[in-house]
Amino acid sequence: MKTIRGPALFLAQYAGDEPPFDSLKDIGRWASGLGFEGVQIPSWDKRLFDLERAAESRAYCEEVQAMLAEHGLSITELSAHLQGQLVAVHPAYDSLFDGFAPAALHGNSEARQAWAVEQLKLAARASANLGLKALGTFSGSLLWPFLYPFPQRPAGLVEEGFAELAKRWEPILDICDSEGIDLCFEIHPGEDLHDGATFERFLAAVDEHPRCCILYDPSHMVLQQLDYLAFLDRYHPRIRMFHVKDAEFHPTAQQGVYGGYGSWVERAGRFRSLGDGQVDFKGIFTRLAQYDFAGWAVIEWECALKHPEQGAAEGARFVAEHIIQVTDRAFDDFADAGTDRYANRALLGLE
């Protein structure tokens, strides 16, 4: 068995224009001071990381790794969530997602999608140059507007949507395979891959592609009222990344899963800092140890109430306390009688 690595921090929600959050060197020093051992890097944020250069130059990658190593940090994975979102965008959301792409591509959905696909391929190459094993992303969505439809969905609509989604992602999965990278789709509301059933549909559509994997985040399952522990039991062979994020769900007479268009503070389901929500992290870390998860425990802060810096400081300690140092021996080894095959057969009356 393997011991999960961590704690680590996803930097997307912390990057900013003011020190120490405006450069990878400074944010790394800050994270290290809180006890983090790894950082997950948003590949779209030029303040922290040059994706194009990383895809072309191992020397650049080595420079980045050496700089972080000075603070005792490793790169856990790259994130390409925003680029992945643009691989598949329903027209209803077209203008809303322009901000995820360069300004020159705004209003041109075809060019934006082509850019996003190329970004994913660059992220796969950069991950390989960094010696990483997994890459996180979103699937994007063509079908989300039809999740709870009235009138009913036309026959074949879902099948057509997943066929098109697979067509767009298969070339990216193939590049990931050639680079030795598992592409991990975060199971997330708003994406076509938002629960186990939709992941299974997609996996079948890409012909069980060996690089089609999962980024597991229990908070999104709490908000959907999924069994997030049973999810680990069912899908652990495909889980390669882990976001440690808490959440709570308190339905009322006014609202439930859909939230009544309320703000995050007002919703029945909302994200919380680690330890402040309802997620059974002891159960999660136990199962990940049981199933020999070889990745990192990466905190993603998205609390509706607590300041991000307090969430990071408390979260680093929380994860460190929950990581299970897996045992290298059975608890009853002390009682081993040292028998052999002949003795075992004798005990069975066969000798």
Structure confidence by residue, pLDDT tens digits, 268-309: 999 999 999 999 999 999 999 999 999 999 999 999 999 999
* Mean pLDDT of all residues in 210-223: 98
Indicate the DSSP class of residue 95.
Answer: G
Residue 130 backbone dihedrals phi, psi, to 5 degrees:
-85, -5
Query: pTM here?
Result: 0.95
The residue whose two tokens read 């944020």 is 45
| Residue-by-residue DSSP string for 229-283 | HHHHHHHGGGEEEEEE-EEEE---SS-STTGGG--TTTSSEEEE-TTSS---HHH
Structural tokens at position 9 = 């921090």
Report pLDDT for 154: 95
Are 134 and 124 in contact, with CB atoms under 8 Å apart? no
In tens, the pLDDT along 63-80 reads 999 999 999 999 999 999
- 66-94 b/e (C-beta count within 10 Å ≥ 16 → b): eebeebebbbbbbbbbbbbbbbbbbeeee
Greater pLDDT, 332 or 349: 349
pLDDT band at 94 (very low <50, low <70, confident <90, very high): very high
Q: pLDDT class for 116, splitting at 50, 70, 90?
A: very high
Mean pLDDT of 243-258: 97
Q: Give the whole-number percent of the chain exceeding pLDDT 90.
A: 92
Quote the pLDDT of residue 332.
65
pLDDT of res. 334: 60
**Two structure tokens written together for 347:** 């005990």
> Does residue 338 register a pLDDT over 80?
no
Tokens of 171: 């070339």
294 Cβ contact list (under 8 Å, min separation 6): 2
Q: What residue type is 113 in one-letter code?
A: Q
Give the Cβ contact number of residue 267 at 10 Å.
Answer: 21
Nearest Cα residue to 132 out of 298, 295, 1: 295
pLDDT score of 347 more than 90: no
What average pLDDT does range 28-54 have in this prediction?
A: 98
Q: Is the pLDDT assigned to residue 50 strictly greater than 70?
A: yes
Query: Which token pair is 154?
Result: 């036309």
pLDDT at position 342? 87
- pLDDT of residue 330 exceeding 80, the answer is no
DSSP secondary-structure letter at 159?
Answer: H
Question: Distance between the two ends of the chain, CA-based, in angstroms?
Answer: 36
Task: Judge whether residue 136 has pLDDT over 90.
Answer: yes
> What count of Cα atoms within 13 Å lies in the side-chain half-sphere of residue 213?
24
Per-residue pLDDT for 35 more than 90?
yes
Confidence of residue 156 (pLDDT cuts 50, 70, 90): very high
Average pLDDT over all residues of the chain: 96
Q: Where residue 340 falls among pLDDT bands split at 50, 70, 90?
A: confident
Pairing verdict, β 239-244 and 246-249: unpaired
Residues 144-152: contacts with CB within 8 Å, 24+ apart?
Answer: 144/90, 144/190, 144/191, 144/192, 144/194, 145/90, 145/92
Cα gap 165→158, rounded to integer Å: 11
Look at strands 246-249 and 269-272 and give their pairing: antiparallel
> Which two three-digit tokens encode residue 161?
């949507």
Amino acid type, 95: S
pLDDT for 46 beyond 80:
yes
What amino acid occupies position 6?
A: G
What pLDDT does residue 335 have? 60
Position 160 pLDDT exceeds 90:
yes
Distance of alpha carbon 159 from alpha carbon 20, whole angstroms: 47
Give the burial class of 315: count Cβ atoms within 10 A of its Cβ; 0-12 exposed, 13-18 middle, 19 or more buried. Answer: buried
Alpha helices by DSSP H, listed for the chain, are: 24-33, 51-56, 58-69, 81-85, 109-129, 157-179, 196-205, 218-224, 228-235, 281-290, 308-322, 341-347
Question: If you ran DSSP here, which 8-state letter would residue 321 be given?
Answer: H
At residue 333, does pLDDT exceed 80?
no
pLDDT in the model for residue 55: 98
Residues 6+ apart with CB under 8 A from 280: 229
Task: Give the confidence band of 325 by pLDDT, cuts at 50, 70, 90.
Answer: very high
Is the per-residue pLDDT at 201 higher than 70?
Answer: yes
Two tokens at 86?
């643009």
| Mean pLDDT score, 34-58 | 98
Least confident residue range of 3-12, 125-134, 175-184, 341-350: 341-350
What is the rounded average pLDDT of the residues 113-121?
98
Domain 5-347, CATH number (from 3.40.50.2300, 3.20.20.150, 3.20.20.70, 3.40.50.300)? 3.20.20.150
Residue 202 has pLDDT above 70, yes or no: yes
